[in-house]
Amino acid sequence: LPYNCQFLVEAGLYESADESARREEVLGELDKIVKDWVKQLTSQRGYTDQMVEEANAVLFTFGSYRLGVHGPGADIDTLCVGPSYVNREEDFFIVLHDILAQNEEVTQLQPVPDAHVPVMKFKFHGISIDLLYASVSLLVVPSDLDISQEAVLYDIDEATVRSLTGCRVADQILRLVPNIESFRTTLRCLKHWARRRGVYSNVTGFLGGVNWALLVARVCQLYPNAVPSMLVSRFFRVFTQWRWPTPVMLCAIEEEELGFPVWDPRKNPRDRTHHMPIITPAYPCMNSSYNVSTSTLRVMIEQFQFGNKICQEIEMNKASWSALFEPFNFFEAYKNYLQVDIIAEDDEDLRLWKGWVESRLRQLTLKKSV
């Protein structure tokens, strides 16, 4: 799809070769920091010289960076996998935090230990990093650790499973799509479309990066030989006709002996309340879009219908691709709206306060008016 690729380049969705190389360098430096941190702890805990020699941590990426669809300035989702004796509470959130705090290239360091998925957020050489930690039940983490294997899930808690999930899901998506390049171009296109149409946001009840990736991957599976321009129009056709809450799945849900809860509306009453189930393809399979409400689903269906109509017009040469990416005119569509202004003492407080308020906005809109 020459026009559309060109369109995406002109829309500024691809980073420069320089920025790409800088990300690689930053990840290399971060990898060295976490490896040194684990060696230091191994030595302090009195393990043998040979153990200190073999001590290791492995850095993985996930999210848009791992899928190859990140744009300029996007943050990098990273996961550090360490050995069983290096824990999250003290070793990661205190010891590693202090090591990062002393590094002058690290700015805006913000630990979030009690998040659903505990994370350390910071900028490293100006690049935003979200760093998760998973301690697996191995004394030595091999450099070629394959985290898509179920064995990594043995004998770990649910927060650790959640920390591993992002990587396991990204790897599975790339394994399950018939053509990775077509998938990437189509996904870039649809993420750009979703942002322009105001439906890209997991936190406010629309869809975030992983949700869009799973929907696009499903369409790629349904049309394995289609080029991206065809996949874009098929995407709208498929999801305008989709009978929600029928789940979107890339593969069958596996029941494993490990006993972690998986999405199953027959067994779990809570799963029956989900409006737009988009199921992750790695055990334990979850609904990645539980934030969607009846009203956000309605808005998204309207937008799918808009996309479908434009794509039909494009196919009949009655419209151009740029019509698909017309920004949604919120203030013309709605006479009444609620504006939330937030203020804080300084940048640091504002960032924390903004994150807290954003995460609660969904609850506010779900409250019934009195």
Tell me whether residue 143 is one of the annotated catalytic residues.
no
In a domain, 2, yes or no: no
Residue 214 belongs to a domain with what CATH number? 1.10.1410.10
Q: Is 77 annotated as a binding residue?
A: yes
Per-residue pLDDT band for 356 (boundaries 50, 70, 90) equals: confident
Q: Are residues 67 and 126 in the same domain?
A: yes
Confidence of residue 359 (pLDDT cuts 50, 70, 90): confident
Query: Could you tell me the CA-to-CA distances from 22 to 28, 184, 324, 358 in Å, in that order?
Result: 10, 21, 33, 31
Residues 17-57 pLDDT 10s? 999 999 999 999 999 999 999 999 999 999 999 999 999 99
Is residue 114 part of the annotated active site? The answer reads no
- For residue 5, being part of any structural domain is answered with no
Is residue 235 located within the same domain as residue 296? yes
Overall average pLDDT of the 111-127 stretch: 93
> Position of tokens 């979850």?
286
Q: Which of 153, 172, 191 is the last residue of a domain?
A: 172
Task: State mean pLDDT over 172-200.
Answer: 97
Q: Which of 35, 77, 133, 283 is catalytic?
A: 77
Count of domains in the chain?
3
333 in a structural domain: no
- Active-site annotation holds for 191: yes
Residues 191 and 261 in one domain: yes
The CA dihedral of 150, 177, 6, 75, to the nearest 10 degrees, is -10
- The arithmetic mean of pLDDT across residues 299-309, rounded, is 98
With cut-offs at 50, 70 and 90, classify the pLDDT of residue 259.
Answer: confident
In a domain, 56, yes or no: yes
Name beta bridge partners: 81: 58, 134
Q: Are residues 34 and 154 in the same domain?
A: yes
pLDDT of the residue at 368: 63
14, 31, 65, 75: the catalytic one is 75
Question: Is 209 labeled as ligand-binding?
Answer: yes
242 part of a folded domain: yes
- Do the annotations mark residue 75 as ligand-binding? yes
In this prediction, residue 11 carries a pLDDT of: 86
Q: Which of 130, 163, 271, 289 is catalytic?
A: 130
Q: Which of 115, 142, 172 is the last residue of a domain?
A: 172
DSSP strand pairing (76-82 vs 127-135): parallel
**64 is annotated as contributing to ligand binding:** yes
The answer on pLDDT for 304 being more than 60 is yes
Which residue type sits at 287? N
Q: What does the alpha-carbon distance between residue 250 and residue 84 come to, in Å, rounded to a whole number? A: 32
Identify the active-site residue in 35, 39, 47, 64: 64
Burial 203-228 (b: 16+ CB within 10 A, else e): ebbbbbbbbbbbbbbbbbeeeeebeb
Mean pLDDT for all residues in the chain: 93
Instruction: Report d(CA 51, CA 43) in Å as an integer.
Output: 8
Both tokens of residue 264? 């199953």
Same domain, 186 and 253: yes
Last residue of a domain, one of 172, 190, 212: 172
Query: What does the block give as tokens for 111?
Result: 């630990």
Residue 75 lies in a domain: yes
Rounded Cα distance, 115 and 132, in Å: 11
The pLDDT confidence band at residue 278, using thresholds 50, 70 and 90, is very high
Q: Which helix (H) or strand (E) holds 40?
A: helix 17-44
Instruction: Report if residue 4 sits inside a domain.
Output: no
124 with 183, same domain: the answer is no
Q: Which of 219, 251, 247 is nearest to 233 (CA)?
A: 219
Same domain, 163 and 189: no
- Catalytic residue, from 200, 229, 283, 289: name it: 200
Mark whether 145 and 250 lie in a shared domain: no
Residue 77 has pLDDT above 70, yes or no: yes
**Was 200 annotated as part of a binding site?**
yes
Q: Does residue 343 belong to any structural domain of this protein? A: yes
Return the pLDDT at 369: 54
pLDDT of residue 364: 85
3-state class (DSSP) for residue 93: helix
Decide if pLDDT at 296 tops 90: yes
Looking at the structure, do residues 27 and 158 belong to the same domain, yes or no?
yes
Active-site option among 47, 191, 283, 288: 191
Q: Domain range for residue 88?
A: 16-172
Residue 194 and residue 309 in one domain: yes
- How far apart CA 360 and CA 356 sit, in angstroms, is 7
Beta pairing class for 76-82 and 106-112:
unpaired
Question: How large is the average pLDDT for residues 249-259?
Answer: 86
121 part of the active site? no
Q: How many CB atoms lie within 10 A of CB 80?
A: 26
| Amino acid letter for position 240 | T
Confirm whether 200 is a catalytic residue. yes
| Segment (H or E) for 91 | none
Asked which of 65-69, 251-255, 346-350, 365-369 is least confident by mean pLDDT, the reply is: 365-369
Across 173-193, average pLDDT: 97
Query: Mean per-residue pLDDT for 1-20?
Result: 79
Higher pLDDT: 7 or 199? It is: 199
278 annotated binding-site participant: no
Mean pLDDT, residues 251-272: 88
271 annotated binding-site participant = no
At residue 4, the pLDDT reads 56
Please tell me the predicted confidence (pLDDT) of residue 1. Answer: 43
Is 171 annotated among the ligand-binding residues? no
* Pair 36, 149 in one domain: yes
Say whether 368 is catalytic: no
Q: Are residues 231 and 321 in the same domain?
A: yes
